[in-house]
């Protein structure tokens, strides 16, 4: 039922492996990142139909960008793909349907051939009125000499939290990462590059280097004075830091939100409505004979995932040959070619397919001949497959959370899996992005009862999706200051939300230069958890692991926990809460 009118297309955005590698090695201002992220993938027939030579203008609800075009059969006609990043976000609307999650998949955009210059990162930052484009990246000084080897190192990149890395050091330089994926390797080998090494405050529009104490003083002033600050990020740091963040939100009566708000937030909302059916990696390796990837693309976003969980041999299932793999997606992702069954679904219509599956499992008659672009026969085939598995697992991705019925998709999928347990064993694991986003949800839960988007305006916690969620707060201009910890909202939030960050005072605590540093009024350098700092993080299946400290943080640089403790004390003092 998807209508293709003239030049109207359905835009899908998502992670890619080159995006991840370039981000972790050279940073978001690099040519590599530009090459990896500033592009649009289109079906060759659409490319020729529109008479596109090498670039196209993409017009969304909120803006337009010019991007190089990559012709690819992986996307069906009528659908286009832009990697996750500032270009995609620049044209996306910030409307969240009350879920906190903007629609970043199955978005209608108009596309036309153009000869205009490709939109640069600078163009975008200027358009969102970034406070300045200045950045002062440095390499952290590295002592070399002593050879050291660390075993069983957990990787601080994605939610797979691979904890079997062998990291070899020459003094403080990482020389090898054995076991890690390409992005992991890029992260470890380049951890010293593009660093924030000094504290800065913005003064007269310029970044001025100051002492740590002065930076913390200004930061605490901003946060303490705010009537309703937003404390955002938290998925790339340890639980101990997040606990301090929650206290800071409570003391300031502001809002703490983490990146799940624009990632698997809807999955969590679905669980709030109906519960959840979960498992852990070990169980899957030992028992799972059916693996479904639905709206998730592990080959790019979680590169070790497939080998670790699908290929591995378990006690009862002898590796890939005894496992069936099903991929459900709107485009032929790399993982699709490895699957036993690939089901292409129309963008934004997962809810209908899940509905039909639930009906098929209950032997209810389906009147429609085609559901979400999938034939009734194929629905029945899939239903039979899931029903007869011994132990099935669905790895679900943001393809489900960011589109169509959003959290209702997940709610229904959970329902489906709950019902499947009448016939077999079946579970769901959301493919969490950041390495400790699951920890951020867990910490928020035990301290406040809610997993994210927690508001303390009345002196107690409250979560109201669409009201206390970061994208809604920012795009409605409802917060008057922001603290950003270990995250890059300017790169990942929709345009309208980013624009508000340009309008309010912002404190950034980060180890690396990000796009968000361009809207920061205070920048505080920090150590990298899992390399320079210790702490606890939770894998996507909620297995808690201790992140290791392999080297000391750069001289004069503290860890998130230390910085936040001082900041908290200063804010408390300023607000008279001692």
Partner 1 sequence: MTQIIIRNGLVYDPLNGVNGEEIDIGVKDGRIVDPSEINVAEAINIDAKGKVVMPGGIDIHSHIAGPKVNVGRLIRPEDHYLTNIPHRLPYKRAETGLTVPNTFKIGYEYARMGYTLVAEPASPPIKTRHTHEELNAIPMIDKMTFILVDSNWIALDLIQGGEKEVLAAYLGWLLYATKGYALKIVDPGSDVAWMMKGKGIDLDEQIPGYNLTPRDIIKATGEAAQVLNLPHKVHVHCNRLGYPGNYATTLKTMGLTKDITKLSEKPVLHITHVQFTGYKGDSWTNLESGGEDIAKELNANPNVTLDLGQVIPGRPATTMTADAPFEYVLYHLTRWKWSTSDVEVESASGIVPYRYRKKNYVNTIQWTIGLEVALLSRDMWRIYLTTDHPNGGPFIDYPKVIAWLMSKKAREDFMRELSQRALRKTSLPAIDRELSLYDIAVITRAASAKLLGLEKTRGHLGLGAEADIAIYDIDPRRVDLSKQYDKVIRAFRRAYMTIKSGEIVVRNGEIVRTTYGRTIYVKPELPIDLLKDLEKMISAKFKQYYSISLNNFIIGEHELKKGVEVALKTHLR
Partner 2 sequence: MAGVKTTYVVKLKSKPTVPIDSRNISPDKFAGRSLSDIKLLKVLEGGRETVLEELFDLEGPTTAVREPGEIEIVITGPETSKLKYLGYKMSNGKLVVKGDVGHLAGYKMSGGSIVIEGGAGSYLGAKMKGGTIEVFRDVGDFAGGKLQGEKPGKGMSGGTIVVHGNAGSQIGVGMSKGTIIVEGSAKVLVGAFMTGGSILVQRSCGGFAGARMTGGKIVIGGAVESVLPSFYVDSMVPSAGVKGRTINKQFMVFIGDVLVDGKGMLYVAYEDNKLLLEQYRELVEVALIE
Alpha-carbon gap, residue 480 to 505, rounded angstroms: 7
The set of residues, in sequence order, having a beta carbon less than 8 Å from that of 27 and lying 6+ positions away, is: 33, 137, 193, 194, 512, 513
Q: Which of helix, strand or coil describes residue 375?
A: strand
Largest CA distance in the chain: 72
DSSP at 340: S
The footprint of partner 2 on residues 353-412 (CB under 8 A) is 355-356, 358-359, 362, 364, 366-369, 371, 404-405, 408
Buried b (16+ CB within 10 A) or exposed e, 457-476: eeeebbbebebbbbbbbbbe
Report in angstroms the alpha-carbon separations of 118 from 30, 71, 111: 16, 17, 14
Q: DSSP letter at 526?
A: B
> Which string of x and - marks every residue 463-482 that binds partner 2 (by CB under 8 A)?
xxxxx--------xxxxx--
CA distance 437 to 425: 27
176 contact choice in partner 2, partner 1, none (CB below 5 to 8 Å, kind-dependent): none
Rounded Cα distance between 240 and 253, Å, is 20
The site string for partner 1 over 287-306 (x = CB under 8 A, - otherwise) reads x-------------------
Q: Is 176 helix (H, G, I), strand (E, B) or coil?
A: strand
Strand 391-396's sheet: what is its strand order?
341-344, 324-329, 290-294, 391-396, 425-430
- Least Å distance, CB 448 to partner 1, is 6
Among 461, 494, 530, 554, binds partner 1 (CB under 8 A): 461
Toward partner 1, which CB reaches closer, 30 or 283?
A: 283
Q: How far is the CB of 297 from partner 2 (least distance, A)?
A: 24
Binding pattern to partner 1, positions 482-521, x when CB under 8 A? ----------------------------------------
Q: Could you give the CA distance from residue 562 to residue 509 in angstroms, rounded to a whole number?
A: 12
Instruction: Identify what 478 binds: partner 1, partner 2, none; CB under 5 to 8 Å per kind.
Output: partner 2
Contacts with 569 (C-beta within 8 Å, 6 or more apart), sequence order? none
Binding mask 254-273 for partner 1 (x = CB under 8 A): --------------x--xxx
Beta bridge partners of 480: none
Please give the Cα distance from 566 to 558 (Å, whole number).
Answer: 11
The CB-of-344 to partner 1 minimum distance in angstroms stands at 31
Per the CB < 8 A criterion, the answer to whether 281 and 254 are in contact is: no
CB of 246 to partner 1, least distance (A): 9
- Considering only residues 30, 72, 114, 286, which one is a binding residue for partner 1 as defined by CB under 8 A? 286
For residue 374, give the 3-state DSSP assignment: strand
Task: Specify the residue, 112 or 478, whose C-beta has the smaller distance to partner 2.
Answer: 478
In the complex, least distance from residue 60 CB atom to partner 2, rounded to whole angstroms? 17
Q: Contact region for partner 2 (CB under 8 A) — 59-67, 82-90, 117-125, 249-257? A: 249-257
Q: 156 with 439: CB under 8 angstroms?
A: no
Instruction: Tell me which of partner 1, partner 2, none is bound by residue 366, counting a contact when its beta carbon lies within the kind-specific cut-off of 5 to 8 angstroms.
Output: partner 2
Binding mask 53-92 for partner 2 (x = CB under 8 A): ----------------------------------------
Binding residues among 431-450 for partner 1 as defined by CB under 8 A = 441-443, 445-450
The only residue of 280, 376, 387, 562 in contact with partner 1, by rule CB under 8 A? 280
For the sheet with 165-170, list strands across it: 147-153, 165-170, 173-178
424 binds partner 1 per the rule CB under 8 A: yes
Choose the contact partner of 151 out of partner 1, partner 2, none; CB within 5 to 8 A by kind: partner 1
Cα–Cα dist 15/22, whole Å: 12
Beta carbons of 425 and 324 less than 8 angstroms apart: no
SS3 (DSSP) at 416: helix
Q: Does 98 bind partner 2 (CB under 8 A)?
A: yes
Give the residue, chosen from 163, 168, 170, 214, that forms a contact with partner 1 under the rule CB under 8 A.
Answer: 163
Out of partner 2, partner 1, none, what residue 359 binds, judged by CB under 5 to 8 A for its kind, is partner 2
* Cα–Cα distance for residue pair 333/356, rounded to 1 Å: 23
Give the list of residues 6+ apart from residue 482 with CB closer than 8 angstroms, or none: 229, 230, 231, 232, 474, 501, 504, 505, 506, 507
Binding partner 1 by CB under 8 A: which of 164, 341, 480, 562? 164
Total residues contacting partner 1 by CB under 8 A comes to 63
Query: In terms of Cα–Cα distance, which of 65, 107, 109, 113 is closest to 90?
Result: 65
Binding mask 191-230 for partner 2 (x = CB under 8 A): -----------------------------------xxx--
Tell me, by CB under 8 A, how many residues bind partner 2.
47
The answer to whether 363 and 347 are in contact (CB under 8 A) is: no
Question: Applying CB under 8 A, does 102 fall inside the site for partner 2?
Answer: no
Report the distance separating Cα 448 and Cα 255, nearest Å.
Answer: 12
Residues that bind partner 2 (CB under 8 A): 1, 95-99, 226-228, 252-254, 269, 272-273, 348-349, 351-352, 355-356, 358-359, 362, 364, 366-369, 371, 404-405, 408, 456-459, 463-467, 476-480
Residues that bind partner 1 (CB under 8 A): 151-152, 154, 163-164, 239, 243, 247, 250-251, 268, 271-283, 285-287, 308, 315-316, 391, 418, 421, 424-425, 427, 441-443, 445-451, 456, 458-463, 536, 538, 542-546, 572, 577-578
């Amino acid at each position: 039922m998807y209508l293709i009118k003239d030049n109207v297309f359905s835009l899908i955005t998502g992670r890619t492996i080159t995006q991840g590698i370039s981000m972790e090695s050279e940073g978001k201002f690099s040519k590599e990142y530009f090459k990896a992220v500033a592009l649009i993938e289109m079906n060759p027939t659409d490319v020729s139909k529109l008479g596109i030579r090498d670039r196209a203008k993409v017009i969304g609800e909120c803006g337009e960008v010019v991007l190089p075009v990559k012709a690819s059969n992986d996307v069906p006609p009528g659908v286009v793909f832009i990697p996750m990043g500032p270009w995609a976000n620049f044209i996306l609307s910030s409307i969240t349907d009350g879920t906190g999650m903007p629609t970043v998949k199955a978005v209608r955009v108009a596309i036309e051939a153009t000869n205009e210059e490709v939109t640069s990162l600078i163009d975008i930052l200027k358009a969102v009125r970034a406070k300045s484009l200045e950045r002062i990246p440095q390499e952290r000084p590295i002592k070399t000499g002593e050879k050291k080897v660390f075993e069983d190192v957990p990787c601080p990149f994605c939610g797979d939290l691979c904890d079997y890395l062998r990291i070899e050091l020459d003094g403080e330089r990482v020389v090898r990462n054995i076991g890690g994926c390409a992005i992991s390797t890029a992260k470890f080998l380049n951890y010293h590059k593009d660093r924030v090494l000094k504290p800065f405050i913005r003064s007269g529009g310029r970044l001025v280097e100051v002492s740590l104490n002065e930076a913390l003083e200004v930061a605490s002033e901003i946060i303490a004075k705010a009537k309703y600050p937003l404390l955002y990020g938290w998925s790339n740091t340890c639980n101990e830091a997040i606990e301090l963040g929650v206290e800071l939100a409570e003391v300031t009566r502001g809002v703490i939100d983490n990146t799940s708000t624009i990632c698997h937030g809807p999955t969590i909302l679905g669980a709030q409505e109906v519960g959840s059916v979960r498992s852990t990696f070990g169980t899957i390796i030992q028992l799972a004979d059916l693996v479904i990837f639905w709206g998730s693309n592990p080959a790019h976003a979680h590169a070790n995932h497939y080998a670790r969980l699908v290929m591995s041999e378990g006690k009862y299932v002898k590796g890939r040959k005894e496992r069936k793999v099903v991929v459900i997606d709107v485009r032929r992702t790399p993982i699709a070619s490895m699957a036993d069954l690939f089901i292409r679904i129309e963008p934004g219509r997962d809810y209908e397919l899940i509905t039909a599956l639930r009906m098929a499992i209950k032997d209810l008659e389906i009147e429609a001949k085609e559901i979400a672009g999938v034939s009734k026969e194929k629905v029945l085939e899939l239903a039979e497959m899931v029903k007869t598995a011994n132990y099935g697992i669905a790895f679900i991705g943001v393809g489900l959370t960011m589109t169509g019925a959003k959290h209702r998709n997940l709610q229904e999928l959970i329902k489906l899996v709950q019902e499947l347990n009448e016939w077999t064993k079946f579970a769901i694991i959301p493919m969490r992005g950041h390495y400790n986003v699951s920890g951020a949800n867990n910490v928020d839960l035990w301290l406040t009862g809610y997993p994210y988007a927690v508001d303390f305006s009345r002196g107690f916690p409250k979560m109201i999706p669409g009201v206390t969620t970061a994208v809604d707060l920012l795009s409605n201009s409802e917060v008057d200051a922001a603290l950003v910890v270990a995250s890059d909202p300017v790169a990942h939030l929709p345009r309208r939300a980013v624009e508000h960050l340009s309008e309010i005072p912002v404190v950034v605590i980060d180890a690396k230069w990000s796009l968000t540093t361009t809207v920061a009024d205070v920048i505080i350098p920090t150590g990298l958890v899992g390399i320079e700092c210790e702490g606890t993080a939770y894998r996507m299946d909620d297995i808690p692991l201790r992140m290791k400290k392999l080297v000391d943080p750069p001289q004069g640089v503290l860890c998130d926990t230390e910085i936040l403790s001082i900041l908290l004390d200063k804010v408390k003092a300023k607000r008279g809460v001692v």
